[in-house]
A and B are shown apart, each in its own frame.
Chain A
Amino acid sequence: MENVNFLYDLLGRNIISVVLVISLPLMFVLVYALVAILAELKVSAWIQERLGPMRTGPWGIMQPIAEVVKLIQKEDITPDKSSKLLYNLAPFIIFTGAYAAFAVIPFSEYFVPAGINLGLFYIFAVGSISAIGIVMGGWASNNKYSLMGAMRSVAQLISYEVPAAMAVLSIVVLASTMNMQEINKLQTGWFWNWFIFGGPGTLAKIWVIPFTLGLGLIYFISSLAETNRVPFDIPEGESELVAGFHTEYGGMKFAMFFFAEYANMFVVAAVLTTIFLGGWNSPFNTFMQGPFWGVFWFVSKAFSVVLVQIWIRWTLPRFRVDQLMYIGWKVLLPLSFICFMAISLFVMLK
């Protein structure tokens, strides 16, 4: 696993290529976030039999850019009684947390910003940073709604890390590696080699398929909670908490929260893609398989997951705080433990 980065091969390991490697995902995130915002606007509109934004550009495709421009132009307000440092720092911390996770996401066979061996572990470690940002933002705003949103958010993030981690851990048991690139390589071939269908192996894996399918679902549900999406968007809970932890934020700082949310959505979608849906592998063996097609497959798979997240958002109502905890601790956690045990047993007996 030395050089999985085509830029290092191309330019050598110097400062330019390091900067390039770091900034490539940033470019990707910015472009992706605009596309995702547009997707959110359009999918919600189509589901509700509306046309959605149609004025800016053909079919309104410039709408996200217009929105970002609007947010940039806005006055940068810091509430008078807020804790200024924390208030201003919070959006950056959240975005950092979301963006840092991109370091280990394998976009292609030949491109992963940092191919470390503890990739999955790293994602979980870094993903929790956003909780700190949310608490900081919520507390520093000096607003009761924000504070409540922040408290809810922390409780939610902590509870849902556990089933998500269990789901990922089960796959780690199956793949016996935490390196995301390695996990991808294991799933090469037809789509039934993906870990959601039990991973590579003989017909004996049929016993493990229900568990991996369940784990995929568990991870997806907990990832919804981790990114504060409906039906788990109680930290923002617009009907009771107005906008939750970012009630007081406006302008570019709000845009940072917004970008971070969408970046986070992509991160969890990327993890789901990598460990369950074969990452950059083509579903059809060697058909369209290759480093460049890898980027295509990876981004399209991850984006489909994001679209499903959007689709769910515009379908389901929101949970209540205690129900959220109930689902996290009493439903998802035991189920993920059962799946984990079953898979461990399977791996032991194999």
Chain B
Amino acid sequence: MIQYIKNIWAGLSSSFIGMKITWKHLFVKKVTIQYPDQRFTLPEKARNRLYLEMSKCNGCNSCAIACPVNCITVETIRVSPNDPQQEVHFNGKDRKLWVSRYEIDFAKCCYCGLCTAACPSDAINHTTEYEYSEYKRENLVYKFQTLTPEQVIEKERLLAEFRTQEKVCHPETDKKPADNKTADKTTE
């Protein structure tokens, strides 16, 4: 009988204690914010949408290799020495490869940050941009190449020209392994 009354009392009193706590919380400052109007500032390290600085990219493909979900596609063309347009990298060296295609599929990207760590020239970086939903999946494939398709055709033509020239002058250079590698990458 005593236990019975104790139980009833415990039930009532603990409920009142709970109600007291919730009552106090009615009047404290609210922690939520009005999202589209107010935002939290993201830390600088925040890993959100990737951005590639094409002027820094040397087309080494190491980001695509490091990516665990294969969301980065890189295609490159060797710079022909005959090309009238020559670029100098941020580190002072000449550009060896034209990046004809650099696409990141953000529908696949898992924002792990392995590509930024792998990049030797700090070209690919995370931004703090996180609102980029799209109605179509194709729109999530971001293209970072700066060359237009016409330019790409032009560069390929120049390279082919250069190669035929080289073949005429030094036929043995055709079998250089570096050349093969680039050619493979282009066809991939």
Contacts and interface: CB of A to CB of B under 8 A. Distances in A.
Q: So, do A and B actually touch in the complex, CB under 8 Å? A: yes
A310 to B, nearest CB: 11
Contact of B22 (A51, A314, A331): A314
Nearest to A312: B19
A47 B26 CA distance: 5
A150 to B, nearest CB: 27
A331 B8 contact: yes
Contacts of B19: 311-312, 315
B18 A315 contact: yes
Interface string A300-322: 00000000000110111000000
Contact of A51 (B8, B15, B30): B30
Chain B's interface size range is 10 to 19
Contacts of A45: 30
Contacts of A54: 34
B23 A46 contact: no
A50 B23 contact: no
Interface in A15-52: 43, 45-51
Given A312-B19, A316-B15, A51 B34 contact: yes
A299 to B, nearest CB: 22
A47 B25 contact: yes
Interface residues of A, number: 15
A49 B30 contact: yes
Contacts of A314: 22
B28 interface: yes
A83 to B, nearest CB: 40
Nearest to B27: A46
B30 A46 contact: yes
B26 A43 contact: yes
A265 to B, nearest CB: 18
Contact of A311 (B22, B31, B33): B22
B32 interface: yes
A312 B18 CA distance: 9
A315 B17 CA distance: 10
Contacts of A46: 25-27, 30
B18 A316 contact: yes
A49 B25 contact: yes
A49 B15 contact: no
B17 to A, nearest CB: 10
B15 to A, nearest CB: 6
Contacts of A316: 15, 18
A48 B25 contact: yes
Contacts of B23: 311
A46 B23 CA distance: 9
8 contacts: A49-B30, A50-B30, A50-B31, A51-B34, A311-B22, A311-B23, A314-B22, A315-B22
The 7 A-B residue pairs whose C-beta atoms are closest, nearest first, are: A315-B22, A47-B22, A315-B18, A50-B32, A46-B26, A49-B31, A51-B32
Interface of A: 43, 45-51, 54, 311-312, 314-316, 331
Given A49-B31, A51-B33, A315-B15, 13 more contacts: A46-B25, A46-B27, A47-B22, A48-B25, A49-B28, A49-B29, A50-B30, A50-B31, A50-B32, A315-B19, A315-B22, A316-B15, A316-B18
